[in-house]
Amino acid sequence: MNIRLFRWSRALDLALKHKKHVDTVLGYRARYLESFGKAETHTKFLQCAREGIEVDWEAIKAKIKQEKEDERARSGGGMGAGSGK
């Protein structure tokens, strides 16, 4: 949600705290800046880049897909068993 709202610092803070999706935040931030022809200037993002965190879009897409599937499973899967139909 923070990425969609362009709350980049908050998104990165959460990703670093939970040690998940740091590459996702960095990737979407880079795309955002690129769309405006801007270079990264934010210290936290530059630090992550110096640490060598790579952006692999295939891996990012797979993680997002897996999290959506996990969320559906936790919520009962929609119209599956137990829906009374």
pLDDT tens per residue, range 38-53: 999 999 999 998 999 9
Q: In which domain, by residue range, is 10 found?
A: 1-56
**65 belongs to a structural domain:** no
Q: What are phi and psi of 21, to 5 degrees?
A: 65, 25
Q: Is residue 24 part of a domain?
A: yes
Name all contacts of 7-15 with Cβ < 8 Å and 24+ positions apart: 8/32, 8/42, 8/45, 9/42, 9/44, 12/44, 12/45, 12/48, 13/44
Task: Give the pLDDT of residue 76.
Answer: 81
| Predicted pLDDT of residue 68 | 93
- The answer to whether position 72 is within a domain reads no
Q: How many domains does the chain have?
A: 1
pLDDT level of residue 83 (50, 70, 90 thresholds): very low
